[in-house]
Homo-oligomer: A and B are copies of this chain.
Amino acid sequence: MRALYHYDEIGLLVASERTPSGHRRYTERDLRRLYRVRALRGLGLSLEEVADVLADSADDPESLRALLAEQLRRLDEHAERIGVLRRRIGDLLRQAGDPYGPDPERLMTTLEVMSVFETYFTEEQRGRLAERREALGPEGVEAARREWAGLVEEGLRHLADGIPADDPRARDLVRRWDALAGRFHPEGPAGAETAAAARRMWRDNSAEIGGSLPWPAERMAGLVAYLEQARQAG
């Protein structure tokens, strides 16, 4: 087995004897040590941990139990990360097979949005947002989406009509816009933070996010800038 040379190199398992010509001779004790190493490796421990536990177990019988308990915890963590990925990919595949037809461009855009999302929100914030979305339920999200589409149309009309950003109608639109967004943000100061992060995200990346929407990306970019102005003016 090639690994034996590796174990020798790092000093984890050195053959106790050598023949005069230099061939390694593994004694019975060496073999038993090898079995322990292999078994512990098979449980997912690193070679360093294996070395430590084999060194410690002589004077500290608890170290092995502690290490195994720790490993169990790490495996649980790992399993959960895998579960998260599974759910995400499952969602993507389901979205990819939705009634709008198999539009791979949309799938790609969704990927972009995911990435941007992860750049602007911390993992914790994403967790909170997911909780809120879950609390709203699918119908709540759908309702908000429709309301929001109305607000977008209204904003685009304002823009086309040349209504200035400090006009009361623009400020009122911003108020309703932010209230709608507020449904998705957590309560208290945490909500203010996610809301601010969301605005930064929109400001910097309206093109990427807009790509997944039914309106032209550049018009959405204009609208976002317009709302930002109105918010400043308000």
Contacts and interface: CB of A to CB of B under 8 A. Distances in A.
Interface stretch (A102-110, A155-163, A194-202): A102-110
A64 interface: yes
B75 A93 contact: no
A107 B64 contact: yes
A44 interface: yes
B28 A207 contact: yes
A182 to B, nearest CB: 27
Size range of the interface on A?
35 or more
A208 interface: yes
A32 interface: yes
Contacts of A61: 102-104
Nearest to A40: B111
Q: Is the interface of A mostly helix, strand, loop or mixed?
A: helix
Given A79-B86, A82-B75, A86-B76, A208 B35 contact: yes
Interface in A51-71: 57, 61-62, 64-65, 68-69, 71
Interface of A: 28, 31-32, 34-36, 38-40, 42-44, 57, 61-62, 64-65, 68-69, 71-72, 75-76, 78-79, 82-83, 85-86, 88-90, 92-93, 96, 102-104, 107-108, 111-112, 114-116, 118, 207-208
27 contacts: A32-B208, A34-B115, A35-B111, A35-B112, A35-B115, A36-B112, A36-B115, A39-B115, A40-B111, A43-B92, A57-B108, A61-B103, A62-B102, A64-B108, A65-B96, A65-B102, A65-B104, A68-B92, A68-B96, A71-B89, A72-B86, A72-B89, A72-B90, A72-B93, A75-B85, A79-B79, A82-B82
